[in-house]
Amino acid sequence: MASGARVFSPRVPAPRASARAAPRPRLASSAPGRAPARCERDRLPAFRDRVPRRRPAPRRAVDESYDMGSYDPEMDGFVPPEISLRSLKIGDKIGEGAFSEVYRGVVEGADGASERVVAKAYKKNVRGRDWFSFYADERATCRRLKEAGCVGVAPFLGVCGSDAYLVWRDVGVETLESCVARARSAEEAFDAIGDVFFFDADSKPTSAKKQTNSGGNKTKQRALVFLRLARSLLTATASMHANEVVHRDVKPENVLVSRETRGVLLVDLGGAADLAANVNCDPSETIFDPTYGAPEQVVRDKDDKKKSGLLGGLAGALAKRAPFGADDPSRALAAGAAASGIAPCPRLDAFAIGLTLLRVATPALYPVDAMARARCAMDAAEDRLKGPTEETDDVRNESALDAWASGPGSESCDFALIDAAEAWSLIEGLATWDPERRLTVREALDHPCFKALE
């Protein structure tokens, strides 16, 4: 039963003679079997003689049932799994989130050929969370983008078994987050990113790499790598938007840097809003990362900093409130916040891209909590700008990003790489607090800074 309560029948009828003579084999089922309670056996001393034991199903029968899915094939919307569970060999774990785990694996074909894959399994024992809703949303979005030929996301292969794994072709596991997390300087980070962009699968330099190395200015060379990264990320996101899907969680952890495609791909679509299929489009559900999320997604209570707030990000709650600690900058960002109730739109991704590019280009923001602290300082800068202009009709020229860069909270930041790429106005246009003035992803691709790549 749904409540988990166990209810026993007051009387167990004797089975038919035909059932005693030829007991039916056990059928694979997702429902647990029920053994009679001790008190029930006491009431029925001849229980074992009257009811035959059910024989366990052969292992192969269980696997086949699990492989074909636990749903009735005649139900509306049923899609059988694309990959046999027996053909998937799971390897090392390469990542873990609040609601899922990611593994490397191999799918073995019937012809003996094998393919390297990345498999994602949702955790089914997370308290207070309906794991299947996230899984079903990501499954539906990935299938639709695959059918549409979207080139901005990791290549989706399908579902393995009865909703056991979501499987993608392995095109690399390096992300922007892993690139900056282990780097101590912009030189180290962009050398790693540049290797992906400018070397082929055999580690041979491409013509673009030779062209980049032709100059002697190392800062200018890294600026070109940054511009290629920015254009690739904008192009990947624009591909999703062209198919009416808003990612809603663009951040370095979800940007895959692929040597195979010599570009970046977006991953983790569990919170993506599919505007065409009306999936994850409820305005009352706010899914965002408090560090990279667009400011219009929340309304903050500035008078009561100790109030509980909306837990941002996929690890948080959807329009639920939870207490926050002041020792965690990412949680403190959402303290005293409530969902604004705006509908998902492509401009949410544009803002997140702006802050993602800012972090990758600024070595002082590489440490784990540095970007969260910077976002707190940016919000404070926006509040300072709002104060004096609330009672006037003057148009504000300075942006929150400019106010932060020239004020407290950015003293250790070096923007030399952004200046060399002439990309500050690109980042500023994307990460604008006013959504009406924010660049769209499509408009950002036409920014003059990209002329350096021609």
Query: Which residues have C-beta within 8 Å of that of residue 315, sequence separation ≥ 6?
Result: 97, 98, 99
pLDDT at position 255 over 90: yes
What pairs with residue 88 in β-bridges? 107
The better pLDDT of the pair 376, 213 is held by 376
pLDDT at position 152 over 80: yes
Mean pLDDT (whole number) for 326-346: 69
pLDDT digits 0-9 by tens, 9-64: 444 444 444 444 444 343 333 333 344 444 444 444 443 444 444 444 444 333 44
Q: What is the pLDDT of residue 89?
A: 95
The better pLDDT of the pair 78, 404 is held by 404
pLDDT band at 207 (very low <50, low <70, confident <90, very high): very low
pLDDT at position 125 over 90: no
pLDDT band at 339 (very low <50, low <70, confident <90, very high): confident
pLDDT at position 143 over 70: yes
Q: What is the pLDDT of residue 300?
A: 73
pLDDT at position 98 over 60: yes
pLDDT at position 321 over 70: no
pLDDT band at 256 (very low <50, low <70, confident <90, very high): very high
pLDDT at position 310 over 60: no
pLDDT at position 149 over 70: yes
Across 188-192, 201-205, 301-305, 308-312, least confident range = 308-312
pTM, entire model: 0.76
pLDDT at position 349 over 80: yes
Q: What is the pLDDT of residue 116?
A: 96
Amino acid at 28: A
Q: What is the pLDDT of residue 24?
A: 39
Mean pLDDT (whole number) for 170-196: 88
Across 67-76, 309-318, 421-430, least confident range = 309-318
pLDDT at position 8 over 70: no
**Most confident among 6-10, 44-48, 189-193, 390-394 (mean pLDDT):** 189-193
Work out the mean pLDDT of the chain and round it to a whole number: 77
Q: What is the pLDDT of residue 35?
A: 43
Q: What is the pLDDT of residue 288?
A: 79
Amino acid at 123: K
Q: What is the pLDDT of residue 216?
A: 54
Q: What is the pLDDT of residue 202?
A: 46
pLDDT at position 232 over 90: yes
Q: Is 238 exposed, middle or buried (0-12, 13-18, 19+ CB in 10 A)?
A: middle
pLDDT band at 304 (very low <50, low <70, confident <90, very high): very low
The better pLDDT of the pair 131, 106 is held by 106
The domains located in the chain, with CATH, are 85-169 (3.30.200.20), 176-281+343-453 (1.10.510.10)
The better pLDDT of the pair 381, 126 is held by 381
